[in-house]
Structure 1
Amino acid sequence: MEFLKQFLIFSSLNDEEFKQIEEIAIKRRYQPRMFVFMEGEEREAVFFIKSGLVKAYKIDEDGNEQVISLLQSGDMFPHVGFFDGSPYPATAEAVQETELIVIRVDDFNELLMTYPEMTIKVMKIMGKKILDLQERIQGFISKDVQHRLTHALRKLAAEHGVQKGTGVYINLPITNQDFANMVGTSRETINRTLNEMKKKKLLTADRSGILIHDADWLNSCN
């Protein structure tokens, strides 16, 4: 109950109503590289991340992975298709050992009908995700790889970063291939771009995360 209270969509419910949610919610654990669901599968449930990290991505016509988002504790997913019964719009895969709270679609839809204020909050979340995707598409069209990578770093820092001195640390085990899949380029191009940033002492990176040395620099990039 205490964990679910942090989610915006449940913020207006009282303890008695939360107990009803507890009765329909279950826990699932996933090891790294296990699929939560795959694109095109029948929509089974709505997921809330208690701990761990989940990668949502699509596969393009050439078989390339296009990362849509990295989701961590406190996130819910999927973000679209609540009202049309469509299949899962992307594949979700655990990056780390992950624990999820799961509510079946039928039960979740019943919650939305019972508590209209939840529906409004879900629509706000969906609207924000659509705006984020529109911004990424515009970046793909109008920006070079360095700009797209910087934008990805800024978004990750805003969503997953912690302040560290004058910089910000992105505490995610993200690979260069993941970056390539996020910004629509090759791993080799990402390698070169990140190495240039390291030479300029803009950032350092290891297997556990990325340290942006100057948060002001990152926030000033357009």
Structure 2
Amino acid sequence: MLVEFLRKFPIFSGLNDEEFEHIERISVKRSYQPRMFVFMEGDEREAVFFIKTGLVKAYKIDETGNEQVISLLQSGDMFPHVGFFDQSPYPATVEVVQETELVVIRIADFDKLLIQYPQMTIKVMKVMGKKILDLQERIQGFISKDVHYRLTHALMKLAAEQGVKKGNGIYINFPITNQDFANMVGTSRETINRTLNEMKKKKLISSDRNGIIIHDMSGLNKYTR
């Protein structure tokens, strides 16, 4: 049931059973194949999306035309993070990486629901305000770190979210290029090449065409200290 899925999201914490029934009535499911776009940066903001299954990436294009990956989002994530209360255009492009099923709530439908049930507005806005502050703090802390830290953090996050056990290691089972990593952590591809090669020489990781294997999680974790 959609209600049980939506209960997992902090934005809806505090809602009672009747309020969840209203949310379920305005929710629809959509399926996407790899390389499909959910929306493009600058498009009119029409809906908020909740990932039931799959993987998507959010990115922006900088002044030089390069792709800047903001985040990889998976089952249990919602996007855009600002949610329902910002009327500005979508702040980034979201592209599907793996076959994905989304639960979609149109902002217009949600607005009508909040007008009809104003007590829901207070509950949802309190949660969103805290979420945005937490996100700002995490971003500020992340950008102050060096490339080794940022890349290691990205690898460990991917391992936690997408990794599967393979022998004594953890396999991140989808293709991600060095340029993807460079975009994700805000550096050049050459710097990522050097850093990944260093990790490979130390036998912390290895890679193939389909993904990356982390052989020594504790050794890799030293880069984040």
TM-score above 0.5: yes
Paired residues for 1:122-161 under 5 Å = 122-139=128-145, 143=146, 145-161=147-163
User: Is residue 2:193 matched to residue 1:187?
Assistant: no
- Paired with 2:110 and 2:130, the residues of 1 have a C-alpha distance of 17
* Larger mean Cα displacement after TM superposition, 177-186 or 53-62: 177-186
CA change 1:163–1:130 in 2 (3 A) is: farther
- Paired with 2:161 and 2:113, the residues of 1 have a C-alpha distance of 28
- Paired with 1:125 and 1:209, the residues of 2 have a C-alpha distance of 31
- Paired with 2:102 and 2:54, the residues of 1 have a C-alpha distance of 9
| 2:15–2:123 contact (8 Å) kept in structure 1 | no
TM-score (norm 1): 0.85
| 1:157–1:169 contact (8 Å) kept in structure 2 | yes
Question: Which amino acid letter does the alignment assign opposite residue 44 of structure 1?
Answer: E
CA change 1:31–1:200 in 2 (3 A) is: same
CA change 1:13–1:164 in 2 (3 A) is: farther
Question: Which amino acid letter does the alignment assign opposite residue 34 of structure 2?
Answer: P
Paired residues for 1:12-161 under 5 Å = 12-80=14-82, 82-110=84-112, 113-115=118-120, 116-139=122-145, 143=146, 145-161=147-163
3-state SS, counterpart of residue 156 of structure 2: helix
Post-superposition offset of 1:39? 1.0
Aligned mate of 1:204, from 199, 203, 206: 206
Post-superposition offset of 1:86? 1.0
* Larger mean Cα displacement after TM superposition, 61-70 or 125-134: 125-134
Percent identical pairs in the alignment equals 70
Question: Which amino acid letter does the alignment assign opposite residue 128 of structure 2?
Answer: V
- Paired with 1:25 and 1:131, the residues of 2 have a C-alpha distance of 31
- Paired with 1:14 and 1:61, the residues of 2 have a C-alpha distance of 46
CA change 1:163–1:127 in 2 (3 A) is: farther
| 1:40–1:88 contact (8 Å) kept in structure 2 | yes
| 1:32–1:94 contact (8 Å) kept in structure 2 | yes
| 1:146–1:193 contact (8 Å) kept in structure 2 | yes
Post-superposition offset of 1:198? 1.2
- Paired with 1:172 and 1:193, the residues of 2 have a C-alpha distance of 20
- Paired with 1:14 and 1:41, the residues of 2 have a C-alpha distance of 33
* Larger mean Cα displacement after TM superposition, 179-188 or 89-98: 179-188
Aligned mate of 2:178, from 170, 176, 179: 176
| 1:166–1:215 contact (8 Å) kept in structure 2 | no
- Paired with 2:69 and 2:30, the residues of 1 have a C-alpha distance of 23
- Paired with 1:205 and 1:63, the residues of 2 have a C-alpha distance of 28
Structure 2: 5+ residue runs without aligned partners? none
- Paired with 1:219 and 1:108, the residues of 2 have a C-alpha distance of 42
TM-score (norm 2): 0.84
Question: Which amino acid letter does the alignment assign opposite residue 192 of structure 1?
Answer: R
